[in-house]
Amino acid sequence: MSDTPEGTVHADVLIRRGLKLTHLRLLRALGETGQVSAAADLLAMSQPSASRMMADLERIAGTKLYERLPRGVALTEAGEVLAGRARRITSELDDAGEDLALLSSGVRGSVSIGAVTAAAVDIVLPALQTLRRSYPDIEITVLVDTSDRLAEGLATRELDLYLGRLTPALPARSVELRPVGPEQLDLMVRADHPLLSRSSISLDDCLAFDWVLQPQGRLLRQTVELYLLETGYGLPPRHVSTSSMLVTLALISSTDAIAPFARSAAGFFTGEDPRPSRFAVLPVDQRMTVSPYSVVTRSEEPLSASARIVFQAIMEGVDAKRA
């Protein structure tokens, strides 16, 4: 006679029904690609084999996990739940394999980090230069984006860590923060902008020209607009909104438009080494400052061995910035 109370679900019910690691890897790939054929390619199996394996997984789960669409497939609510677990389990196993490889054959692995623009130039770039010399076998992927996007990447484990700000996408108890500092802003223009020929420049002078701003709601734009309003200036009457740095640079290089940039990024684009830059910073008296950012990691799980090496290099850059 069983000692298990009636109605109790065994913790290993899916394993008892035949769940295998390949099922989880396939479901993860299906969620990431949205196509059975693409998921099959990622696992080096045929599409019919992948379809049969997904049918087997639905039998094991006892529910439908995906729906076929005119183009590709979409996970059901149950599929999304199981795919989230699959991502976490397979990522943990990948990290375990990486750690074992590091112990047996030296430092090797892949690390994904994110950064807002100022941190990418000030901290990540110097760290990468050091890491490429000292740890050439660590493959590093860098995503430069807004804090909202970076926080999502950390939450879904696309990123191992990021340099940015905490957002509602990440509960405070799920992360650890190492503060870095605020971002100072400069106003950047093309090197032969008409304002640069004047002996003095005010923000009123700047507002007579077109501006290139981030989309509404982005932190940098909010900072600029709040500063202008709090200091008694109006908002730029004419502006273009874009999240693309390439488009921003193209606009200010070919027109008289003005764009706010993180000071470190502006310094990178306006430097004169090895030849004179196409851009310049307007010498206008303003104190636009974006709120402080931090190095953000997940608190509920340790970094992999290679990610710890990258994290240490990042923190050395943070310490150098503070010095």
Percent with pLDDT over 70 in the chain: 93
188/268 same-domain check: yes
Number of domains in the chain: 3
Query: Which of 39, 70, 93 is the C-terminal boundary of a domain?
Result: 93
Residue 3 resides in a domain: no
Q: Which of 140-144, 274-278, 280-284 has the lowest mean pLDDT?
A: 274-278
- For 198-262, the DSSP string reads SS---HHHHTTS-EEEPPTT-HHHHHHHHHHHHTTPPPPSSEEE-S-HHHHHHHHHHSS-BEEEE
Domain of residue 200, CATH code: 3.40.190.290
Class of residue 177 by CB neighbours under 10 A (exposed 0-12, middle 13-18, buried 19+): middle
172/259 same-domain check: no
Residue 196 resides in a domain: yes
Q: Rounded to whole angstroms, what are the CA distances from 295 to 18, 89, 179?
A: 41, 25, 6
| pLDDT tier, 7 (very low <50, low <70, confident <90, very high otherwise) | very low
297/233 same-domain check: no
Give the whole-angstrom CA distance, residue 141 versus residue 191. 32
131: left (phi over 0), alpha (psi -120 to 50) or beta: alpha
Please count the CA atoms within 13 angstroms of the CA of 151 that sit on its side-chain side. Answer: 18
Q: Return contacts of 226-229, CB within 8 angstroms, 24+ apart.
A: 227/286, 227/287, 227/288, 228/203
Domain of residue 141, CATH code: 3.40.190.10
Residue 300 resides in a domain: yes
Residue 2 resides in a domain: no
Give the whole-angstrom CA distance, residue 259 versus residue 251. 9
243/277 same-domain check: yes
Residue 310 resides in a domain: yes
Residue 138 resides in a domain: yes
Enumerate residues 6+ apart whose C-beta is below 8 A from 153.
112, 114, 143, 145, 159, 162
Place of tokens 């420049």: 201
| pLDDT tier, 167 (very low <50, low <70, confident <90, very high otherwise) | confident
296/176 same-domain check: yes
Average pLDDT, the chain: 88
- Reported as a single tens digit per residue, the pLDDT across 86-122 is 999 998 888 888 777 765 444 777 899 999 988 998 8
Domain of residue 50, CATH code: 1.10.10.10
- The answer to whether 75 and 65 have CB atoms below 8 angstroms apart is yes
144/242 same-domain check: no
- Reported as a single tens digit per residue, the pLDDT across 186-203 is 999 999 999 999 999 999
**Sign of the alpha-carbon dihedral angle for 95, 99, 105, 109:** positive
Q: List the domain range (segments joined by +) for residue 66.
A: 13-93
pLDDT at 262 over 50: yes
62/143 same-domain check: no
What are 173's two structure tokens? Answer: 């108890």
Q: Which of 174-178, 222-226, 267-271 has the lowest mean pLDDT?
A: 267-271
213/282 same-domain check: yes
Residue 275: predicted pLDDT: 60
Class of residue 44 by CB neighbours under 10 A (exposed 0-12, middle 13-18, buried 19+): exposed
30/157 same-domain check: no
> Alpha helix (H) ranges present in the chain?
13-16, 21-33, 36-42, 47-61, 77-105, 117-119, 125-134, 147-155, 203-206, 219-230, 245-254, 263-270, 305-322
284/298 same-domain check: no
- Reported as a single tens digit per residue, the pLDDT across 37-77 is 999 999 999 999 999 999 999 999 999 999 999 888 999 99
Residue 99: predicted pLDDT: 75
89/26 same-domain check: yes
Query: Which of 61, 93, 125 is the C-terminal boundary of a domain?
Result: 93
Class of residue 323 by CB neighbours under 10 A (exposed 0-12, middle 13-18, buried 19+): exposed
- Reported as a single tens digit per residue, the pLDDT across 176-189 is 999 998 888 999 99
47/80 same-domain check: yes
pLDDT at 84 over 60: yes
Residue 193 resides in a domain: yes
Residue 98 resides in a domain: no
